[in-house]
Structure 1
Amino acid sequence: MSWQEKIAIQLYSVRKAMEKDLDGTLKRISEMGIRYVQLDGMRGNKTEEVARLLKHYDLKVIGMHIKHDRFFDDIDGILYEASLFDCKTIYDKYIEEEDQTPSGYKKTKRALVDLQYKLSPLGFRVGLHNPEFDFADQVDGRYVMDYLTDPENGISLYAEPDTYWISVAGMDPVEYIKRYSGRAPIIHMKDFVPGFDRMDMANNLTEIGSGTVDFRSVIEWGEQNGVEYYCIEQDQSQIDMFDSLEKSIAALKEMF
């Protein structure tokens, strides 16, 4: 499969559209030529209906973002959804604020490593989405993402590096992701415009090709180091979201 065929869409990008018109939203994604998507909740729709329409529009789920607390109190529900969507790559989407402490991060790592230990024989991959607080907080002298994905008793969690949040932190996405060779099956592709407050997402998050992230180098590294999907996530945009996604898809495909 060529790298262009590995372009995916994180459905968080179209969360508002999914709430209003699930069928129409997935149809639009399919019409963009996209075959792979990441899930981030059902957005008020029945789980079974989301699965039915994804199959109807030939959209394959390549990763699932799961709410943090479900990893502690709803493992059965996670496994049900994983079976329904035929997806065994699951990520803790965002560590809730009450757990954004050294003890909370340690609790999170214990839970996720334990789950990885139990589920890896079944082919599951348990990981974490690269959060914005990653480079502000440390645990035992390590950045949060590094601490959480450091091997423990021979077990490693998978990383989902986010080029935007790495850039917000003033780091080079290409250099940072190198530590995750073979451990980052999905990379979130998001562009960044410097010069604004680091939390001013309305201005410093932009469509791919309109910012400073070196996506060509990200892809070149990814093709040599086990990246399976390049997933566009547009948290918000100053233009229509579907137009935004189409612009980013076109820019990615023109990288080479």
Structure 2
Amino acid sequence: MKFHEKIAVQLYSVRKEMEANLEETLRLLSELGIKNVQLDGMRGNPPLEVARLLKKYDLNVVGMHIKHDRFFNDLDGIIEEAYLFDCKTIYDKYIEEEDQNEVGYRKTKRALLEVAYKLSPLGFRVGLHNPEYDFKTEIDGRMMMDFVTDPENGISIYAEPDTYWISASDIDPVEYIKRYSGRAPIIHMKDYIPGFDLTDMDNNLTEIGSGTVDFKSVIEWGEQNGVEYYCIEQDRSKLDMFESLKISIAALKNIQI
């Protein structure tokens, strides 16, 4: 499969649009040439209707973001959703604020490993998506993201590196992802403009090709190291979201590998 066919869109990008008109949102994504999406909740829509419309518009669910607390108390619900959407690659979307400390990170690793022990025999992959704060804490001499994803007893928590949040942490995303050869089936592709406050996402988050992230090098590495999908996630934009996604999709497709 050529890397152009591995481009995906995280539906968090169009969360407001999904709340307003689910079918129109999925239709417009399909018209952008998108075949692969990553789920991030139903956005007020019945799961069966989301599944029906995804199928109608030939959108393949390649990953699912799951709320942090569900890994502790709703494993049955996670499994049910995974089978409904025919997707066994599931990520803890972000660690809730109350668990953003050493005790919480250790608890999170245990919970994710327990889920992985139970579900790996069924073909599931359990992973963690990284926001910026995950790079600010060390546990046992390891950055938190590395600590949680370090293999244990032959089971690995998969990483979902996010080029924006890695860049916002003053870390080179191309160098950082190299530690995850074979352990990062999805990479979040988000561009970054330095020089703004970390919380100023209106200015420091931008469309792919407008910032400083070296996406060509990310993809070159990914094609040699098991990356299955390059997932655009545009948390917000000054543009209409579909125009924003159109720009980012075109920028990725224009990369020559």
* TM-score in terms of structure 2 length: 0.98
Counterpart in 2 of 1:246? 246
Distance in 2 between residues matched to 1:98 and 1:137, nearest whole Å: 14
Give 1:47's aligned amino acid.
Answer: P
Alignment partner of 1:89 is 2:62: no
Counterpart in 1 of 2:106? 106
Task: Note the aligned Cα RMSD (angstroms).
Answer: 0.7
Counterpart in 2 of 1:207? 207
Alignment partner of 1:63 is 2:63: yes
Give 2:59's aligned amino acid.
Answer: L
Distance in 2 between residues matched to 1:54 and 1:154, nearest whole Å: 35
Distance in 2 between residues matched to 1:151 and 1:123, nearest whole Å: 17
Give 2:69's aligned amino acid.
Answer: D
Distance in 2 between residues matched to 1:140 and 1:206, nearest whole Å: 35
Distance in 2 between residues matched to 1:131 and 1:237, nearest whole Å: 18
Distance in 1 between residues matched to 2:11 and 2:61, nearest whole Å: 10
Give every structure 1 segment of 4 or more consecutive aligned residues whose post-TM-superposition deviation is greater than 2 Å.
none
Counterpart in 2 of 1:41? 41
Give 1:134's aligned amino acid.
Answer: D
- Give the superposition deviation at 1:132: 1.8
Counterpart in 2 of 1:160? 160
- Give the superposition deviation at 1:142: 1.5
Distance in 1 between residues matched to 2:100 and 2:85, nearest whole Å: 30
Counterpart in 2 of 1:137? 137
- Give the superposition deviation at 1:36: 0.3
Alignment partner of 1:79 is 2:105: no
Distance in 2 between residues matched to 1:194 and 1:243, nearest whole Å: 23
The DSSP-based 3-state class of the residue aligned with 2:12 is helix
Distance in 2 between residues matched to 1:16 and 1:46, nearest whole Å: 16
| Structure 2 gaps, min length 5 | none
Distance in 1 between residues matched to 2:227 and 2:161, nearest whole Å: 11
The DSSP-based 3-state class of the residue aligned with 1:216 is helix
Give 1:92's aligned amino acid.
Answer: D
- Counting matched residue pairs gives 256
| Structure 1 gaps, min length 5 | none
Counterpart in 1 of 2:193? 193
Give 1:101's aligned amino acid.
Answer: N
Give 1:188's aligned amino acid.
Answer: H
Distance in 2 between residues matched to 1:236 and 1:94, nearest whole Å: 17
- Give the superposition deviation at 1:151: 1.3
Give 1:194's aligned amino acid.
Answer: P
Distance in 1 between residues matched to 2:248 and 2:132, nearest whole Å: 22
1:168-179 to 2 correspondences below 5 Å: 168-179=168-179
- Give the superposition deviation at 1:193: 0.4
Give 1:219's aligned amino acid.
Answer: I
- Give the superposition deviation at 1:140: 2.0
Counterpart in 1 of 2:8? 8
